[in-house]
Structure 1
Amino acid sequence: MKKEINTYNPYNGDKLETYTLNSNEDLINKLKLADNTQKDWKALEISKRIKLLQNLANEIDKNKDELSELITKEMGKPLLESKAEIEKCNLLIDFYTINADQFLQDDIIETEAHESFISYDPLGCILAVMPWNYPFWQVFRFAIPTLTAGNVGLLKHASNVTGCAIAIEKLFLNAGFPEGCFQTLVTDHNGIETIIENDIVKAVSLTGSEKAGRKIAELAGKNLKPSLLELGGNNACIILKDADLRKHMDTIVKARMQNSGQSCIAAKRFIVVEELYDEFIKQFKSKVEDLNYGNPLYETTTMSCLAREDLAKILEEQVNKSIDLGAKVLIGNQRDSAYYQPTILTNVTAEMPVFKEETFGPVAAIIKVKDEDEAYKSASQSKFGLGTMVFTSNYDAASKRISEIEDGAFFINEMVKSDPRLPFGGTKISGYGRELSKEGMLAFVNKKTIYINK
């Protein structure tokens, strides 16, 4: 009997589509196709791969409205944010269209040899396990550099955005990428284990939770295959006494509330020095209250539901446990199905879930500290390591603190965000490896040493 999955609109609960899971035979056939395709794909001139990137950008641009609506219907983010996500995918393509050839050039190394250099050869077939919160961007930041380097890709997407996964494969095919270069797998966790164990798959990239990361790392390690993990985060947003709140408050609120708070790199802990605390609370609360909740398909909507009701329930439980430990609700803490009201908690301490865990939704935990030293100490008090942001007028002083933060990113007077030009990734239980920039293009290549003597 064939297994099926359904997708639902989280805003109204309407059923969207039913999809049949790939059988084991389907999965094996997809693996074989990927393997056969990669033999020719890796031999294709880089200029021809880049031309296909340009075709892909055109396909995305042509279908932007339809794709944006699909994102919103499947995972609930406001339509304007869905459009921004699609547009960011094309910025990524533009970056690698310009830089891929240079990134993949041999590196000449002067030695005693007649000639010695490093070449960058694709590993082969790479599996990507991707999340629902940015269903196009997360996939594209894996696929574009990975495929352009000469690899082929297999995508196991989150089941609630299966329509997005299928649409992405269609984009690659319509752009002229060879069949088998990028394939979507509609499968479950058992299917993933079978795929990773198959010799055709050479490496795995996962963006997801700590739990998922540990499982994928275990499977990859058992099979001696490299993995790249981009996992959860509990980013600190430090507000120092000289921060220009009027200038930066829109950015500070966006850092927590964008995508209804469902972002690994969102600001989750707001660490505020006591001299500015009252003014920060006043301005932050006012901006949060101005968010416009409604149907995510309306362009006036700035805050919508979470992607699934179970996610809202988990967030509600984290907040209530924190309240039991002494946190105070300034605003919010109301749930209706998958909607969770934007919430501000004060009197937050380090033993509370909203301080030490990842809260995946619109909850801001506010921590009052005495001074700058205590702020940086509190920010570092985390098992996560994706990023930290600092708001201050003295950016020179903040720059001297960079080495105190162990995270993968340190942003001054800006929210932590991904940029195609800069490497992206974390430390500690936020994962390992880097996506984007040149680092992302070389994530799944064999850095081969070549040594030639006459």
Structure 2
Amino acid sequence: MRDEVNSADALAVMTNRRVTAMPMLSINPATGQTLHSFPTWPASEIDTVLSQVESAQAGWAALGFEQRAGFMRNLAQIFRQRSEEYAHLITEEMGKLLKEARAEVGKCAMGCDYYADHAQAYLSDEVIASDASRSLVVYQPLGTVLCIMPWNFPFWQLIRAAAPAMMAGNAVVLKHASNVPRCALALEEAFRQAGFPEHIFRTLMISAAQAETVIADPRIAAVTLTGSSAAGRKVAAIAGQHLKKCVLELGGSDPFIVLDDADIEATAKQALTARLQNMGQSCIAAKRFILVETIADAFVAQLKTLMNQLQSGDPKDGATGIAPMAREDLRTELHAQVERSLAAGAQRVTSGAFIGTQGAYYAPTILDHVQPGMAAFDEELFGPVAAIVRVKNAGEAIQLANRTHFGLGGSVWTCDAVRGEALARQIHAGCTFVNGIVKSDPRLPFGGVKESGYGRELSYHGIREFVNIKTVWIK
């Protein structure tokens, strides 16, 4: 669904056949206009850059934390100073509302500052009592980390992986989604402007098939992927074949459980945001709205009213509430999931249709009476479609919340916080929120279980993913 590795390209690489990579196209999803085309790199250029990065990493690792932090704080300032420019670039290339793009760039600045402030504390030597005269645990960088990133948060997804990895002393190379090449190049330019040593962060203009060869390259020490479960399986298989550490943040089908004591009007407003942020194109967007049946009719009516108030338009216009999806093929795939769910017995409450004749717009949609076995329940809906699931009680709500291959996030909405916490602990996910929309926060670990991946980003957990946790024993 997101930036998946193409199976035909993968087969060609594995059998050493030549692949003619398609150029990376920057297309405005609001208009369908091609903004720029970038050729993919030949193997010789990839080889040169990986050697340059490998050579630069040793010097970077030798710097003290405060020196590395200075560069990271410079980068935070770049994001703040060029926020409007970067926000417009994000909106032009992947379509999100401009106000959301501004918030994304601001979050990047916060993430950079957070790791500049905390990396040293997270990675300081730990003295451990043992049978030695002195024994300690030290945290040392692995080398070069390959970040394979998606298009939906083209700046933040990279920064939340790169900032901790680089503060730990690693170098980073980026393989970005093929539909956001200008964002990828802008990120490299931002690191350069912030004064980072040359080649310590590089963007690789490569295809998915070429990324497979980069994972296998001995100059790459580890890999992190944010993408689909299918892409995660392929990356994990290649990394495993070469015994390389990887962190996978994959798809999600987050439950949004509304109990019978919840404030329906307030919760419905939060539900609208939880489902339609980034036009529903978020791994942690609420997707399955599991409602106790006594309040279900009132909740659906309120959500319908709120959705019907939104107007489509230019995502740079502050009055616009419905932005385009990122690509035409993603809109087509989402619509097919809606149609399959309707054919299986789901009931259409709102729309479920394309909007206009220009751009990848899809009308916000509510599907009611969704059940297991329907696409809207079993699959990740990566777009503005809310699946309504009706249950008799909280126990059934938890049972259905956990009846999924995914396990990224989830939320419980109730006026009883103690009850909400007890239920949140029962949801099989990497993070659960009570009376709050699921979000990533540099202070808290982020990641999933089951087919939503493994490993963690952010907090001290994230910065320790790509280090050698080494015991030093002295007699």
Q: Does 1:282 align with 2:301?
A: yes
CA distance in 2, matches of 1:291, 1:422: 33
Gaps of 5+ in 2: 1-19
CA distance in 2, matches of 1:275, 1:194: 55
What's the CA shift for 1:246?
2.8
Q: Does 1:65 align with 2:69?
A: no
User: For the Cα contact (< 8 Å) 2:21–2:207, is it kept in 1?
Assistant: no
CA distance in 2, matches of 1:137, 1:202: 22
Q: Does 1:425 align with 2:447?
A: yes
Task: Report the equivalent of 1:86.
Answer: 105
Aligned match for 1:319, one of 307, 322, 338: 338
Task: Report the equivalent of 1:273.
Answer: 292
What's the CA shift for 1:293?
1.6
Deviates more, 1:288-297 or 1:301-310: 288-297
What's the CA shift for 1:224?
0.7
Gaps of 5+ in 1: none
Aligned match for 1:340, one of 341, 362, 365: 362
CA distance in 1, matches of 2:134, 2:310: 62
Task: Report the equivalent of 1:261.
Answer: 280
CA distance in 1, matches of 2:160, 2:391: 37
CA distance in 2, matches of 1:206, 1:364: 26
User: For the Cα contact (< 8 Å) 2:26–2:180, is it kept in 1?
Assistant: yes
CA distance in 1, matches of 2:343, 2:323: 27
Give the 3-state SS of the residue equivalent to 2:180 in structure 1.
helix
What's the CA shift for 1:385?
0.3
Q: Does 1:242 align with 2:264?
A: no
Deviates more, 1:369-378 or 1:144-153: 369-378
What's the CA shift for 1:2?
8.7
Task: Report the equivalent of 1:16.
Answer: 35
Q: Which amino acid aligns with 2:224?
A: S
CA distance in 2, matches of 1:402, 1:83: 31
User: For the Cα contact (< 8 Å) 2:116–2:167, is it kept in 1?
Assistant: no
Aligned match for 1:183, one of 182, 197, 202: 202
Aligned match for 1:206, one of 222, 225, 236: 225
CA distance in 2, matches of 1:217, 1:335: 36
Q: Structure 1, residues 321-351: CA drift from partner, whole Å, max 9, x if none? A: 0000111110011114511100001111111
User: For the Cα contact (< 8 Å) 2:412–2:423, is it kept in 1?
Assistant: no
Give the 3-state SS of the residue equivalent to 1:268 in structure 2.
strand
Correspondence list, 1:114-129, <5 A: 114-129=133-148
Task: Report the equivalent of 1:100.
Answer: 119
What's the CA shift for 1:281?
1.1
Q: Does 1:197 align with 2:216?
A: yes
Task: Report the equivalent of 1:399.
Answer: 421
What's the CA shift for 1:3?
5.8
Distance 1:2 1:284, change over 3 A: closer
Correspondence list, 1:299-318, <5 A: 299-318=318-337
Q: Which amino acid aligns with 1:363?
A: V
CA-based RMSD of the aligned residues comes to 1.2
Q: Which amino acid aligns with 1:434?
A: R
User: For the Cα contact (< 8 Å) 2:349–2:365, is it kept in 1?
Assistant: yes
Give the 3-state SS of the residue equivalent to 2:159 in structure 1.
helix
Task: Report the equivalent of 1:451.
Answer: 473
What's the CA shift for 1:130?
0.3
Give the 3-state SS of the residue equivalent to 1:42 in structure 2.
helix
Task: Report the equivalent of 1:110.
Answer: 129
Deviates more, 1:270-279 or 1:287-296: 287-296
Q: Does 1:381 align with 2:403?
A: yes
What's the CA shift for 1:49?
0.4
Give the 3-state SS of the residue equivalent to 1:396 in structure 2.
helix
Deviates more, 1:176-185 or 1:277-286: 277-286
Aligned match for 1:349, one of 348, 362, 371: 371
Give the 3-state SS of the residue equivalent to 1:119 in structure 2.
strand
CA distance in 2, matches of 1:33, 1:260: 39
Deviates more, 1:85-94 or 1:420-429: 85-94
CA distance in 1, matches of 2:25, 2:366: 34
Q: Which amino acid aligns with 1:317?
A: A
Moved over 4 A (4+): none
Q: Structure 1, residues 186-222: CA drift from partner, whole Å, max 9, x if none? A: 1112211211111110000000001110010011001
